Amino acid sequence: MAIRSLEQLDLDGRRAFVRVDLNVPIRDGRIQDDTRIRAALPTLRAVLGRGASVVLASHLGRPKGRPMPELSLAPVARRLADLLDRPVPLAPGVVGPGVSEAVRALEPGQVLLLENVRFHPGETKNDPDLARAFAALADAYVNDAFGTCHRAHASTAGVADRFPPERKGAGLLLLSEIRAFHRVLDAPERPLVAVLGGAKVSDKIPVIRNLLDKVDRLLVGGAMAFTFLAAQGVGTGDSLVEADRIELARDLLAEAERRGVGLVLPVDHVIARDIAAAAEVRTTEGPEVPDGWKGLDIGPDTRSAFGAAVATARTVVWNGPMGVFETPAFAEGTFALARAAAESPAFTVVGGGDSVSAVNRSGVADRIDHISTGGGASLELLEGRVLPGIAALEG
């Protein structure tokens, strides 16, 4: 994969169009969590330190192609200015004469933040005219927004296609994502163990099919495990089961056996009649869930089995929680897996919004080798798909 890093780009005295992910939660004009803004800082400092000026682009929310004052990037510009310790003016729009004039006035070391690119209807349509307008603003292109790379938008794939290979590349954050998933999917140390959780098998079918061709063991938890257990004839009580996917689950179990992949399912569960903090909670003595009860977390024996598999792995990739971890009574399975991943000598990658949230809440995030910044993008990489925002940087 021939994607240039910042060190391979000639940025001295140039204007760089830098696509980042500044899609942060804002309430009443106040930023609630600036994690994504902070994540963009290393690349911005590196580009500015190379003597470039920066035309910065990001989306915020889903304005559906029309300006919405509550989704303006103005609060982000103010916070970014504080963190960079330099002015970060907000452009008067996405493109147009006023934007072009502000860009032409940039000096080396200065930053201009474009208004929310999704205010323009052509952004999500990858409109060629908008992509050309973006490209005309700069001499080089840097993408550091992994979370948007699975979308062929004007500020990702479209604009990148309009720069020659020697004048486009990946920022530090995006490059770390590319390298981490390459290490897991293309050049893993073995054994390679994948852990999948979440609610539905249907959400993970392409992931499972792709991983069965790559992993040594596949651990399946969360509600999606009950469709597989139902396929084995195990009683699942009132647990979430996708009845229309039982035959598919049976086929996937057979395929795993043919490939010699250990597809490991829960052997016990934490159960309750309802998802509530005050609910009566029990632990089953086997994989069966009695009628009237729901499986809401993996049980202690499953935690031990999953933990042992992770402990002996050399590479681990995890997507999806083991239970309803937002409720304390059903959180221990997910948190135990997070601790096992942190303690394992394996190279560990965690992707997906819920998994990342669980790792952060478990207090072991600093001991995970790579925590992905893109839920949808990481899932599509696990499916084996080519991400258009990344493909556009190749050459």
Q: Which of 235, 375, 376, 384 is catalytic?
A: 376
Known catalytic residue: 200? yes
Q: How far apart are CA 330 and CA 121, in angstroms?
A: 43
Question: What DSSP element (H or E) covers 259?
Answer: helix 246-259
**Residue 17 near residue 137, CB atoms below 8 Å:** yes
Report in angstroms the alpha-carbon separations of 164 from 55, 112, 324: 18, 23, 47
| Crossing angle between the packed helical segments 35-49 and 74-84, to the nearest 10 degrees | 60
Q: How far apart are CA 311 and CA 20, in angstroms?
A: 35
Known catalytic residue: 36? yes
Q: Which of 14, 125, 200, 282 is catalytic?
A: 200
Known catalytic residue: 214? no
Known catalytic residue: 376? yes
The pair of structure tokens assigned to 66 is 């029309």
**Residue 263 near residue 256, CB atoms below 8 Å:** yes
Phi–psi pair at 205, nearest 5 degrees: -55, -50
How many Å is the Cα radius of gyration of the chain? 23
**Residue 270 near residue 295, CB atoms below 8 Å:** yes
Q: How far apart are CA 135 and CA 49, in angstroms?
A: 22
Q: Which of 4, 36, 167, 217 is catalytic?
A: 36
Q: How far apart are CA 236 and CA 240, in angstroms?
A: 8
**Residue 90 near residue 80, CB atoms below 8 Å:** no
Q: How far apart are CA 175 and CA 259, in angstroms?
A: 32
Q: Which of 353, 375, 384, 395 is catalytic?
A: 353
Active site residue ranges: 36, 200, 353, 376
